Amino acid sequence: MFHLKSWRLLRDESHRATAFLISWVAVIFIFFSISQSKLPGYFLPAIFPLSVLTAGIWREFEGTGQERPRWLRAGFMTLAGLGVIIAAAPQIFRLQAVEVAATEKIAPGVLTLVKASMFYSGLVLVALGVIGRNLGGRWAGRKLGLAALVLLAVTVPLLLLRWRTTMSAYANASSSRRLAQAIQRSPESSLPVYGFYCFRTSLPFYLRRPVCLVTTDASELTSNYVSTNLARLRREAQLAAGEAGGEGALTMVTDFRALVLGGTRPRLVMVRNRDAVKLSQTVPEMEPLWNDWEFSVWKVPPANTRRPGNK
């Protein structure tokens, strides 16, 4: 098997299989690191070659009879150091800039759970690193491998149990289900729903009907195709809506204001809380319906039905 100090051995004919496996992992890691789109599942094809390489390292270790492999002890020390960093990471949220940036991405209640889970996970990793390093200095061969397997089998369930509540809370806060339920329970549930410079992908699914987008360039959909072909898609959406007696799925801000000023029925508008002022400058009147840490929904009545005394 190959070592860092003897990487030139990979050029030999006898190490071609090892070189292939390392190249396999490297290509996947580098390609998806450069890509702007990153999901955990993208790394799954690299798990197989990493498993084969790891098995080869353990096989060589048993064959040489080495009692205290430095790479294994160094790995446990690195794991303990990583645990210290993770356990101390919640302290960085004391910085105002970090706290503000975090609350824009994570609900406040969920952020509290994340901090606690990070601290707990750090302690678990520190304990795993310390115990593993001590065992690496005492045991060798199959006994050490079995001990490492037992430690891993105990640690993973502990971390999963700790993060279960946190991830569940994060999923609920990120999902559009609560927003859709709030709209469906309201007396205005039958009104058309618009996203004002924002679009939540799962909202149409939970509402079981389309959600219109008020935009200037359709960048809220995170689709280069839609942004590039916005004019054509907007015309097609308006044509299809006209034939069906509805409203277009893509609406420019100026067109939306015209719909409100000249329409005869109210509309529900979803907006990020930071853009609520911008919405108030676009429509003549708005009434609060639902509010969350990041989004809010407002009822926008048509201009010709405003109450007396409202401007």
- Cα torsion for 281, 283, 285, 289, to the nearest 10°? -100
For the chain, domain boundaries: 1-64, 67-174, 177-305
pTM of the model: 0.66
The pLDDT of residue 1:
43
CA distances for 36 relative to 27, 33, 228, angstroms: 16, 8, 19
The pLDDT of residue 205:
92
| Residue 213: CA count within 13 A, CB half-sphere | 23
Going residue by residue through the chain (311 aa), what tens digit of pLDDT does each one get?
445 555 666 667 777 788 888 889 999 989 888 877 777 788 889 888 888 887 877 676 665 555 556 667 777 788 889 999 999 988 888 888 888 888 878 888 898 999 999 999 999 889 888 887 777 666 665 666 676 677 777 888 888 888 999 999 988 888 888 889 988 988 888 888 999 999 888 899 999 888 888 988 888 887 788 878 878 877 777 776 665 556 667 777 878 888 888 877 888 999 999 899 999 998 888 999 888 888 899 999 887 655 545 44
Tell me how many degrees the CA angle 282-283-284 measures, rounded to the nearest 5: 125
- Cα torsion for 139, 145, 150, 153, to the nearest 10°? 150
The pLDDT of residue 2:
43
